[in-house]
Amino acid sequence: MAPRSPPPTARALFVDRDGTLNPDLHYLKEAERVELYRGVGPAIRLAHQCGHLVVCVTNQSGIERGFYSAEDVAAIHARINERLRPFGTRIDAFYYCPHAPESRCACRKPGTLLFERAAADLGIAFAESAIVGDRPLDIEAGRRLGLLTALVVPPGHEELLAAEVEREGTRPDITASRFGLAVARILARG
């Protein structure tokens, strides 16, 4: 009989990328255009200080659609970590889906394959983890895995997102107007 692996124990803060960490510039290709929202660096540093891995899971259909390459995505992820360096923090791992919605793949959010890969790679316990995103599909992926879910609803978008949440039937556990506030509310829950 083979020895059993110990159960996963790492806590993770899963984060969406475009619209959550940085402005959604719609099929962003150029890494030099990446800017983080105010408060993202301190919030990620705080999550690390509280014992969370920070893992970015993002849909990047622009690859399959030919708008940019996997190398462009890698450069953008390197740029995000470069932008986080002055705050003494970083994203621990990036996972992305390169497929368009029409492909109906298992890795595109709200599918959970990328989260499952991250959990296997990093020893993440979903019951101890959370997700922050700006779309109901982020919340749906989190719900499927039993994560604490937080939706960032920027000022001026409340009605639009409320209608989308209602249509999708994916109410988040937490709503906040900014990423940093969402992270603070997650961490306050222990």
- Domain span holding position 130: 11-188
Q: Quick one: average pLDDT of 88-95?
A: 98
190: Cβ contacts below 8 Å, ≥ 6 apart = none
Tell me the C-alpha distance between 159 and 63, whole Å: 31
The better pLDDT of the pair 166, 49 is held by 49
Tell me the C-alpha distance between 190 and 179, whole Å: 17
Region of 158 please: left (phi>0), alpha (psi -120 to 50) or beta.
alpha
Average pLDDT, the chain: 92
User: What letter does residue 96 receive in the DSSP assignment?
Assistant: E
Domain annotation covers residue 73: yes
Structure tokens at 82: 């470069």
Domain annotation covers residue 109: yes
* 16 is an active site residue: yes
pLDDT tens string 32-54? 999 999 999 999 999 999 999 99
Picking from 144, 119, 142, 121, the residue whose alpha carbon sits closest to that of residue 132 is: 142
* 18 is an active site residue: yes
Per-residue confidence band for 25, with pLDDT thresholds at 50, 70 and 90: confident
Q: Annotated catalytic residue: which of 18, 72, 134, 138?
A: 18
Domain annotation covers residue 54: yes
Domain annotation covers residue 6: no
Q: Annotated catalytic residue: which of 16, 72, 92, 138?
A: 16
CATH number at residue 30: 3.40.50.1000
How far is the first Cα of the chain from the last one, in angstroms, to the nearest whole number?
37
Q: How many residues does the structure list for the chain?
A: 190
Count of domains observed in the chain = 1
Domain annotation covers residue 3: no
Per-residue confidence band for 61, with pLDDT thresholds at 50, 70 and 90: very high
Region of 99 please: left (phi>0), alpha (psi -120 to 50) or beta.
beta
Torsions phi, psi of 18, nearest 5? Answer: -70, 125
Indicate whether 175 pLDDT > 70.
Answer: yes
Domain annotation covers residue 5: no
Q: Count of CB atoms within 10 A of residue 85's CB?
A: 10
**Residue whose token pair is 């259909």:** 61
Q: Quick one: average pLDDT of 93-122?
A: 96
Domain annotation covers residue 86: yes
Q: Quick one: average pLDDT of 19-35?
A: 92
Predicted local distance difference test score (pLDDT) of residue 104: 92
Predicted local distance difference test score (pLDDT) of residue 28: 87
Q: Global pTM?
A: 0.92
Handedness of CA 57, 162, 102, 140 (dihedral sign): positive
Predicted local distance difference test score (pLDDT) of residue 154: 74
Q: β-pairing, 148-152 with 52-59?
A: unpaired
Handedness of CA 178, 33, 99, 130 (dihedral sign): negative
pLDDT tens string 109-165? 999 999 999 999 999 999 999 999 999 999 999 999 999 999 998 766 667 666 776
Indicate whether 168 pLDDT > 90.
Answer: no
Indicate whether 93 pLDDT > 80.
Answer: yes
Predicted local distance difference test score (pLDDT) of residue 5: 63
Predicted local distance difference test score (pLDDT) of residue 165: 67
